Amino acid sequence: MKENEKGEVISGAERVAIDCGYKWYDQCAESVQHFYDEEFEMNGKKFLQRKTWLCFRGDGKHEKGWTWKEDGVRRLISEPEEYESGSDTKALVFFWAGDDVKNIVASIRDGKNQFLKLTVPQPNNPQDEAFLKQLHSESPDEDGHWEEDSTENHLWDALCIVYANAMLSGIKFTEASQSPKS
């Protein structure tokens, strides 16, 4: 069992993703409060890497994603960017291509994705109904850009971030999720 320098137990999860679209600076500051330091070796040298929560933020400007410098592959997730957090540790922020990721997640939610299925609860009780309402709180307009139908959309955004985080890990949901056509 791992502990960080604060004595907090670190779970087996290597990557925790948070939505930093609301109160941007506060979320970045919170993300770096949760960390552990990990030693690794590369080319015979020892390094210490600080692992923190990762911030994710939807971006409607990069419809076809970002080309990563490391390997030249176009992805629906940006390379990590460092942002001030009010401490010595900078927050790692990943942007995700809003419309494209939402299209993929909607295809999974609606049972139209050939790779994955999502079991959505049936409206048997008020909690399920509230959950379903949030999963359908946004829809694409006539140009294909997603818009809020309700301000109660946090669970929809969280689900999109789960899939964005999975894409960052290399999981494919469509052929386009890793290398969309320009």
| Residue 182 belongs to a domain | no
Q: Which of 7-16, 61-70, 95-104 has the lowest mean pLDDT?
A: 7-16
Q: What is the pLDDT of residue 64?
A: 78
Segment 91-141, tens digit of pLDDT: 889 999 999 999 999 999 998 888 888 887 777 777 788 889 999 999 999
Confidence at 3, pLDDT banded by 50, 70, 90: low
| Residue 66 belongs to a domain | yes
Q: Which of 50, 47, 37 is nearest to 91 (CA)?
A: 50
Q: Which of 162, 138, 158 is nearest to 150 (CA)?
A: 138
Segment 129-175, tens digit of pLDDT: 888 999 999 999 999 899 999 999 999 999 999 999 888 887 776 65
| Residue 37 belongs to a domain | yes
Confidence at 179, pLDDT banded by 50, 70, 90: very low
3-class secondary structure, 167: helix
| Residue 137 belongs to a domain | yes
| Residue 74 belongs to a domain | yes
Q: What is the pLDDT of residue 120?
A: 75
Q: How many domains does the chain have?
A: 1
Q: What is the pLDDT of residue 174?
A: 63
* Domain encompassing residue 43: 2-177
Token pair 């176009």 is at which residue? 74
